Amino acid sequence: MKVLEDFFSEIQTDMVAICLEYVDNKADEIFIYCSYEPEMYVFDFFYRINGKTVHKHHLNEAAKESNSRLNQVYDVSRERQKAALRIGNQNLKFIHKKCEEFNKEMPTEMKLYYNVKQNSLKGKYRYDLVYSNDDELLPDDIFDIWFEEMK
């Protein structure tokens, strides 16, 4: 019988797969940000490629700076970004549904770090409200702060 951790693991693996597919399996590290605070789901991600930390829509800038991947051109079209974000949000909603089914608390924040070469996934989870009770902060701000920390 599956336990909640099994579903969590499967869904997080799927999130990594979506982000890997988005970058054509050519990234060194993937950073995935997930947030759920009452009635709002947020899923976003960024990468480290050739030692450079880049947002998903700036992948080609990182590829240009590298001699080894000169021919690499990433599809960073709006449609592709929206598709990846939509799937990620669906995964978050599924996690929420499973948490409810197992009568467990849904994390308000998940920061997932995936090392591509080592095939290792680490996660940090929070259960307290991060931005709902702050008049200034939005989920995008939290994501941007993390991005800056990882640069």
- Rounded to whole angstroms, the Cα distance separating 127 from 106 reads 7
CATH number at residue 58: 3.30.500.20
Per-residue pLDDT of the chain (151 residues; tens, 9 = 90+): 889 999 999 999 999 999 999 999 999 999 999 999 988 999 999 999 988 999 999 998 887 766 554 567 899 999 999 999 999 999 999 999 999 999 999 999 999 999 999 999 999 999 999 898 888 989 999 999 999 999 9
Instruction: Name the H helices within 24-138.
Output: 59-64, 78-101
Overall number of domains in the chain: 1
Range of the structural domain that residue 15 is part of: 4-150
Scored b (16 or more CB within 10 A) or e, 103-125 reads eeeebbbbbbebebeeeebeeee
Q: What is the amino acid identity at position 94?
A: F
How far is Cα of residue 146 from the mean position of the Cα atoms in its chain? 11
Query: Which one, of 90, 55, 91, lies nearest residue 76 by Cα?
Result: 55
